[in-house]
Amino acid sequence: MEALKQELKSKIIEVLNLEDIAIADINDDDALFGDGLGLDSIDALELIVMLDKDYGIKLVDPKEGKTIFKSIETMAAYISENRVK
Amino acid sequence: MKKTYINGLGCISAQKTFDTIFLEEAELNEDDIILPLKAPVYKDFIPPVAIRRMAKGVKNGIVASTLALRVAHLETVDAIITGTGMGCIEDSEKFLKAILDNDEQFLTPTSFIQSTHNTVGGQIALGLQCKAYNLTYVNGSVSFESALFDAKMKIEEGEASSILVGGIDETSDYTMSLFKLAGFIKEENQGPYSVLEATTNGVVFGEGATFFALENEAKENTIAEILDLEILNKLDVSEVEDKIISFLALNNFELKDVDAVVLGYNGDVDSDSYYKNLSNTTFVNTPQVYYKHLSGEYDTASAFGLWVGSKIIQTQNIPDIVKLNALDKPAYKTILLYNQRNGNDHSFTLISSC
């Protein structure tokens, strides 16, 4: 799980082009949207595509996203349970 | 009918055209076939949250437009009009590559959103919270002139009192590789690539963003007035002189009234034949200026040319690095700009001091 969290932080920085942020700057329980990392709705779409492309997870219910993308912790937990690749 | 004044300008190019007066730090690069951009510190102009999604063309456009507004002491405008030949080609490439690499699956939104030709105009409007008229012209080498033409008409007709108008183009790896294959860009390792002594086809390519803040009234900070502008799709070399004479006559000028002529020499031997006759006969007694050896050629390089012309009027000086001949005038009041590419997309622009 720890390796997956590190992998997710690295991917988020790369995919969302967060130039000024390092892996160490993101805590596992930091909010990804809003006051935390400050991601927005376009970033959410990028993360949905990333889940599909890298882990084979298709989010069919958009409401799920709010819980899944709450933090690195929640993302890692959801991916561990649902990944197909 | 209202007059059109250039009250502000901003330019990002292959030269240090920001934080300088007028090309005093310009460097001639005859070794590269694609001139690298002298980029500003983008974070000084664009919030970090917004900058991370922007390709360089968008960033350059925002910085150049911001500089133009600052010089004009304007916070917003009545219209934003841009011209671009290739648009945001960098993100277009990313998006198309993602389609191919991922077998038409997993298409991400960012590069798609940012890949359109009007991205720059849109992002400037978002930054200024400007919900006014916003249009982008994509007309090859008269893309910028088309935007300028629209802006001039809107000011003349009283539909706008202040307009931000600019030309933006960016280079990108894959498109440049295609241009090399097509012979649009000069062959590698054949330098030095001197624009004036070229004997081959193809050009040294470049990129940049140049913006002008236009207003319908002259102010203390007014740089120049745009007197007239004409765009012609096709001309024969032998027709150019007559067209210039009739264009000047429409504005009650003769050839002798032109204090300097800014020509779009780009180092392509065929394309430059359009300028050679003007240099050797028509304007042989007129100070002549060229600029694409500094900016490189691109669809909106003529916006850089207008920046050069405006700066000559503002500073009353022609830097040695852009002089085509050794002639000088005691004052530079009226300047004619002529640009074309491969015999197409001819534009004549006439500017004057106020």
CATH placement of domain B4-215: 3.40.47.10
Instruction: Check whether A82 has a pLDDT greater than 90.
Output: yes
Which pLDDT does position A63 carry in this prediction?
83
User: B95 CA to chain A: closest CA distance, Å?
Assistant: 13
Which pLDDT does position B37 carry in this prediction?
97
User: A48 CA to chain B: closest CA distance, Å?
Assistant: 9
Which pLDDT does position B49 carry in this prediction?
79
Instruction: Categorize the per-residue pLDDT at B142 as very low, low, confident or very high, splitting at 50, 70 and 90.
Output: very high
Which amino acid would we find at residue B146?
S
Q: Give the Cα separation of B169 and B182 in Å (integer).
A: 19
Alpha-carbon torsion B206, B209, B215, B220, what sign?
Answer: negative
Instruction: Check whether A85 has a pLDDT greater than 80.
Output: yes
Question: Tell me: the pLDDT tens digits for B153-173?
Answer: 999 999 999 999 999 999 999
Rg (CA), chain A: 12
Report, as an integer, the average pLDDT of B310-325: 98
Domain that holds residue A15: 2-82
List all residues 6 or more positions away from B250 whose beta carbon is below 8 Å from its beta carbon. Answer: B228
Angle formed at CA B325 by CA B320 and CA B329, multiple of 5 degrees = 80
Which pLDDT does position B272 carry in this prediction?
98
H or E stretch including B79?
strand B79-83
Does residue B335 contact residue B313 with C-beta atoms inside 8 Å?
yes
**Residue A39 maps to which CATH number?**
1.10.1200.10
Instruction: Check whether A62 has a pLDDT greater than 80.
Output: no
Read off the DSSP letter of residue B278: I
The CATH architecture to which B224-352 belongs is: 3-Layer(aba) Sandwich (3.40)
Domain limits, chain B: 4-215, 224-352
Does residue B57 contact residue B90 with C-beta atoms inside 8 Å?
yes
Upper half-sphere CA count for residue B87 (Cβ side, 13 Å): 18
Instruction: Categorize the per-residue pLDDT at B327 as very low, low, confident or very high, splitting at 50, 70 and 90.
Output: very high
Please state, as a whole number, how many other Cβ atoms lie within 10 Å of the Cβ of residue B126: 12
CB contact under 8 A, A49 and B106: yes
Which pLDDT does position B18 carry in this prediction?
96
Tell me the CA distances in angstroms from B64 to B32, B61, B124, B211, B306, one per residue in order.
24, 5, 10, 6, 14
The answer to whether residue A32 neighbours chain B at the CB level (below 8 Å) is no
B246 DSSP β-pair partners: none
Question: Tell me: the pLDDT tens digits for B275-286?
Answer: 999 999 999 999
CB contact under 8 A, A18 and B52: yes
Q: Report the number of distinct structural domains present in chain A.
A: 1
Question: Tell me: the pLDDT tens digits for B169-184?
Answer: 999 999 999 999 999 9
Which pLDDT does position A37 carry in this prediction?
87
Tell me the CA distances in angstroms from B271 to B33, B50, B264, one per residue in order.
17, 40, 9
Instruction: Check whether B113 has a pLDDT greater than 80.
Output: yes
**Phi/psi at A51 (5° precision):** -60, -40
Instruction: Categorize the per-residue pLDDT at A61 as very low, low, confident or very high, splitting at 50, 70 and 90.
Output: confident
Which pLDDT does position A34 carry in this prediction?
85
Q: What is the ipTM of this complex?
A: 0.81
Residues of B in contact with A42 (CB under 8 A): 53, 109-110, 113
Residues of A in contact with B109 (CB under 8 A): 42, 45-46
Instruction: Check whether B47 has a pLDDT greater than 90.
Output: no
Read off the DSSP letter of residue A32: S
Provide the greatest CA pair distance for chain B.
Answer: 64
